[in-house]
Structure 1
Amino acid sequence: MQKPLLLPAIALLAAACSQNQTSSSGETAASFSRDSLMHTIQILSSDSFEGRKPFSPGETKTVAYLENAFKQLGLEPGNGNSYVQDVPMVEITPEAGAVMKVQSPKGSFDLKRTDDFVVSTENTDSMVSLNNDELVFAGYGVVAPEYNWNDYAGMDVKGKVVLVMVNDPGFGVDTTLFKGKTMTYYGRWTYKYEEAARQGAKAVLIIHNTDAASYPFSVVQSSWGTSNLYLDKRGDKQYHCALQGWVSAAAAKKILAAAGKDSSLLLSANRRGFTAVPLHEKLSLQVKVKAAYNTSHNVIAKITGSKRPGEYIIYTAHWDHLGIGKPDAKGDSIYNGAIDNASGAAALIEIARAFTSLKEKPERSILFLAVTAEEQGLLGSEYYAEHPIYPLPKTVADLNMDVVDAYDKKKDIVIAGAGQNELEDYLAEAGKQQGRYLAPEAHPEAGHYFRSDHFCFAKAGVPALSAGGGIDVVGKGKEYGRKLEDDYTANRYHQPADEYDASWTFDGGLQDMQLLFSVGEKLANESAFPQWKDGSEFKAARDKMMKE
């Protein structure tokens, strides 16, 4: 959650604006309106929008609303003559057999679907199978040259099933490895799937650990093994594993014991020089697959820069939520997503309004991108990053808004995945003008930097930032702020209770919106390109991009 501070306008924005913009700073700050923000949230999170799930009538209404809002502000279409970018997707529904059979040197046994394992697939063949395929333990499944780490060194896993651990090497064992307690992308489950595919594995299974994953196995059970959306990549020759999924900690223990191993094998994977270990076990599983194709939409608008129109700053927010689902205790089945993320979509409109209120246009072009299917795996932002309307080497930065603070002003600012790029320095300077300080993430091991739309830009090499207020509430302290955050997580996050509330102040959200506006305005009126910091896993992609 995030929060604001309404300091005098000139003091708030002066340090973040170039000299030729300073005279309009007060007018711009005043353009941030709680009433306008709340009005948009109320509409987008109303029951008539049905929870804004892709492919639903709620999507049609949401896209039309956003397009009209951008038009009313006088923004240019962001995709040629259109405000819309089509995002082709496929809904894949796997139906795994009731058991996965394991043949081991000590005999055969079964793992139960859902209780012991869950699997998904990005393949659309009607049947996907494991047929006595060999199992290899590949540590954390990481190949990270900048850390001199390769769990697959000396082992050919083509056509085999790899068993890997979640999070980074050293997690909970050795904080001198990688970034210590802070998860890198190498620790994220999506990376494990991608690397296993690059190695030619037939399937990949991640050993679940609640602390390392930052959520219990029940979250995995509810998220996988049912239908999921993916980008439609028909014609794309990129290889994907036939199956990808998770096994519970108890199931992993059973697998290791049948191979004559124990937890000491897992510990050994935290030592530099670890190499993959064949378990001399074979897995069998049949999975029926249904696939249905459809098209969702990103919404994009633009302000063309006055001096460097071919350089771009992107503001992003996802417009989608979970639609209609399981009823709660009150019988409410509409997941309205007022805070997550009608608030971010509304903030996108308000920041666009602030830029249009400037007396002089920004020197660089500003893009306002509302993306689809974040809740389904960052699909809208992934599609844009893979099919950019504007060249990524000329894209200066992405500033993302996901869950805007509906409550009180905050003294602190928290950066997701701090230490990645120089946008954090811009933010720190703008934060000083608000009298605020940077605070560390409460749970850096959770990998929040990789869990919203800015990540897809980062992965492609574009410096990206996600930040907002923390828990140090002005006049009320950290304990009060922690209770607010915990209440939202426990009672509203991804639940029907995430509904519009007329009592929200959005003092915190307005403060954070002004902060991100200040960063974007500074970027828009200078010639420098912010850089990735040494040690970032995304620096190499940017360096390569800028040389081509």
Structure 2
Amino acid sequence: MNRFVLAAATAAALGACSASTEQAGLDIPAIEAGELSQTTMVDITRELSSDAFEGRMPGSPGEEKTVALLTERFQAAGLEPGNNGSWVQKVPLVEITGRDYAPLSIKGQGVNLSFQYQQDWVGVTYREEAATALADSELVFVGYGIVAPEKGWNDYAGIDMKGKTAVILVNDPDFATEGLEGPFNGKAMTYYGRWSYKYEEAARQGAAGAIIVHDTAPASYGWNVVESSWSGPQAYAQRGENAPPLTQMNAWVQKGVAEQIAKAAGKDLATLSAEAAKKGFKPMPLGLTVSTSFQSDIRTFESQNVIGILRGKTRPEEYVIHTAHWDHLGRCTPAPDGDDICNGAVDNATGTAALVALAEAHAKAGAPDRSLVFLAVTAEESGLLGAHYYAENPVFPLSQTVGGINMDAFLVGGTSKDVTAVGLGKSQLDEFLENALTADGRTVTPDPNPEAGYYYRSDHFAFAKRGVPFLYVDGGEDLAEGGREAGAALAAEYRDKRYHGPKDEFDENWDWSGVMADLQLFYRIGRMLAESASWPNWNEGDEFRAIRDQSCAAGAGCGS
């Protein structure tokens, strides 16, 4: 999920800055500008986002066309197949499509509420079962649904959730904090604030159901995004033996629905939320039950990551990875004009095209010392499934992977004086970014919305959580024409009118100058890493530092 779903980027002046990093001994070579083709960017973005690709849903004919196109273009660029002679890595998935939804029924003494699917709530099951029936499950308000022993925090303390349904707030307890200080990093979201964690924890607690309360500000996206993303076919990784437990149903409800439920329980949602933000919060049974049912159509299939490699000339067993997800939502909720194809032109046909354009430029420049890997992953929209599968089953050992750059949606809107770095200050890769920006005469702006937790929401996270340093850099906030006000308007227009909807379509009138400038930056960084002798690490104290150190020691990699 890309950063532009957030509320429009603040127009207040954000001074360009960079966080301090460990600099001892870093080898950062100077790199000449690459020969990057705007024609490649335009042509591939146009083709991938055409109606012929039907929104690039994994397992669809659109996937077949996407994989064929990428294979052809990687080969023409001068890459070799990246998976032991194959261009693809098979990713086993299951597709579950819910249908025939009953209303969400809330009952109690003198209470009988009914809420309509999609309008008021959405829900899915991760279980491969044809029928789901949640019947008279006791509702329990569990605050933010967090169990964090290292912080002395347990929102499930003292309650047996077996057969019950958890009602959960989105984000972290201290998300409204102005600064970055607090038990959960203040306004900067942690992984505990992500919906994926909350559903996983509810399942670990034995809950039958989990319902997250949607609120636009802490979620950082509107109900329209939830409704379009959580209805229709849903892809998941196939579960193996000894898989973690699952709830029967995971759901979202509109905030207004949650307020009605709280009132029916004789409580106030705002008051409950304030109590949940305090350490020592205890779960609260609401004295109500929830019921619903739906059917599921189940299809198992294999999707594909596409992998190309430009072999290094002196250290080919050391790897620098570029990632982008090729998938999108397929057919989705129709626009008023009846268009039901979510074409995903910005998200992420642009990033997929960038993989090809970068591959072409690096191949033209000749092989660098280290190998460059170009990885187009599947099923990002379903929870980073392709990236997680690769990271769990790496073609190239993670201990021999120097680092990477992730590209998730180039918002096309002219040049900017800066770029926005998500996760700035986490690793020594910041130094490579700073050097590349200096070469291009640009600056870096820290993520203006750390509360949205974007570092945990795109494909690089699959690598970061396993220790591999990754950069996630978006387009700038400060446009050359119109400054930060224009940047905020551009982000707002995309978020409100196009993101995860049928109108994220290719436009022949787009100004690609800013995209090409950003692509030049990524070229320099990738080339710097591939020509460097250094192994950049996470900064001391970062959550991923210990994982990287252990990986390097266990795998006899990372330059050892």
TM range (shorter): 0.7 to 0.9
- Aligned counterparts, 1:252-331, within 5 A: 252-262=258-268, 263-325=270-332, 328=335
Q: CA deviation at 1:329?
A: 5.0
Q: CA deviation at 1:332?
A: 4.6
Q: CA deviation at 1:91?
A: 1.4
SS at match of 1:357: helix
Pick closer, same or farther for the CA change 1:477–1:311 going to 2, 3 Å: same
Question: Which residue pairs with 1:138 in the alignment?
Answer: 142
**TM-score for both structures, normalised by structure 2:** 0.85
Q: Distance in 2 between matches of 1:259 and 1:174?
A: 32
Q: Choose from 54, 62, 66 the match for 1:50.
A: 54
Residue 253 of structure 2 is aligned to residue 247 of structure 1 = yes
Q: Distance in 1 between matches of 2:343 and 2:396?
A: 32
Contact 1:95 1:225 in 2 (8 A): no
Q: CA deviation at 1:264?
A: 2.3
**TM-score for both structures, normalised by structure 1:** 0.87
The one-character-per-residue Cα deviations of 1:38-77 (angstroms, maximum 9, x if unpaired) are: 2322333334333333233222222111111111222121
Q: Distance in 2 between matches of 1:259 and 1:405?
A: 45
Q: Distance in 2 between matches of 1:491 and 1:205?
A: 27
Contact 1:417 1:447 in 2 (8 A): no
SS at match of 1:460: coil
Question: Which residue pairs with 1:231 in the alignment?
Answer: 237
Residue 213 of structure 2 is aligned to residue 207 of structure 1 = yes
Pick closer, same or farther for the CA change 1:52–1:264 going to 2, 3 Å: closer
Pick closer, same or farther for the CA change 1:227–1:44 going to 2, 3 Å: closer
SS at match of 1:309: strand
SS at match of 2:408: coil
Q: CA deviation at 1:336?
A: 3.3
Question: Which residue pairs with 2:557 in the alignment?
Answer: none
Q: Distance in 1 between matches of 2:534 and 2:149?
A: 29
Q: Distance in 2 between matches of 1:267 and 1:45?
A: 44
**Greater mean deviation of Cα atoms: 272-281 or 244-253:** 272-281
Q: Distance in 2 between matches of 1:34 and 1:92?
A: 38
Amino acid at match of 1:308: R
Question: Which residue pairs with 2:21 in the alignment?
Answer: none
Q: Distance in 1 between matches of 2:116 and 2:132?
A: 15
Q: CA deviation at 1:388?
A: 2.1
Amino acid at match of 1:264: T
- Aligned counterparts, 1:298-377, within 5 A: 298-325=305-332, 328=335, 332-359=339-366, 361-377=367-383
Runs of 4+ off more than 6 Å: none
Q: Choose from 104, 109, 112 the match for 1:109.
A: 112
Amino acid at match of 1:142: I
Pick closer, same or farther for the CA change 1:128–1:510 going to 2, 3 Å: same
Q: CA deviation at 1:495?
A: 4.1
The one-character-per-residue Cα deviations of 1:461-491 (angstroms, maximum 9, x if unpaired) are: 3222211221312254222333333333344
The one-character-per-residue Cα deviations of 1:135-158 (angstroms, maximum 9, x if unpaired) are: 332221123345443323444434
Q: Distance in 2 between matches of 1:79 and 1:403?
A: 25
Question: Which residue pairs with 1:8 in the alignment?
Answer: none
Contact 2:88 2:307 in 1 (8 A): yes
Pick closer, same or farther for the CA change 1:541–1:195 going to 2, 3 Å: farther
SS at match of 1:427: helix
Question: Which residue pairs with 2:416 in the alignment?
Answer: 410
Question: Which residue pairs with 1:501 in the alignment?
Answer: 507
Question: Which residue pairs with 1:33 in the alignment?
Answer: 37
Q: Distance in 2 between matches of 1:253 and 1:46?
A: 42
Question: Which residue pairs with 1:5 in the alignment?
Answer: none
Amino acid at match of 1:489: R
Amino acid at match of 1:525: E
Residue correspondences, number: 527
Q: Distance in 2 between matches of 1:86 and 1:502?
A: 34
Pick closer, same or farther for the CA change 1:279–1:500 going to 2, 3 Å: closer
Q: Distance in 2 between matches of 1:190 and 1:237?
A: 16
Aligned-residue identity in percent: 45
Contact 1:185 1:537 in 2 (8 A): no
Question: Which residue pairs with 2:96 in the alignment?
Answer: 92
Q: Distance in 1 between matches of 2:70 and 2:470?
A: 23
Amino acid at match of 1:68: E
Contact 1:52 1:323 in 2 (8 A): yes
SS at match of 1:520: helix
Q: CA deviation at 1:327?
A: 5.1
Q: Distance in 2 between matches of 1:527 and 1:155?
A: 53
**Greater mean deviation of Cα atoms: 495-504 or 120-129:** 495-504
Contact 2:34 2:524 in 1 (8 A): no
Pick closer, same or farther for the CA change 1:47–1:528 going to 2, 3 Å: same
Q: Distance in 1 between matches of 2:46 and 2:481?
A: 28
Question: Which residue pairs with 1:10 in the alignment?
Answer: none
Residue 175 of structure 2 is aligned to residue 171 of structure 1 = yes
Q: Distance in 1 between matches of 2:110 and 2:225?
A: 31
Residue 484 of structure 2 is aligned to residue 481 of structure 1 = no
Q: CA deviation at 1:276?
A: 2.6
Amino acid at match of 1:51: G
Contact 2:171 2:218 in 1 (8 A): yes
Question: Which ranges in structure 2 are unaligned for 5 or more consecutive residues?
Answer: 4-25, 555-560
Q: Distance in 2 between matches of 1:481 and 1:467?
A: 15
Q: Distance in 2 between matches of 1:100 and 1:405?
A: 38
Question: Which ranges in structure 1 are unaligned for 5 or more consecutive residues?
Answer: 3-16
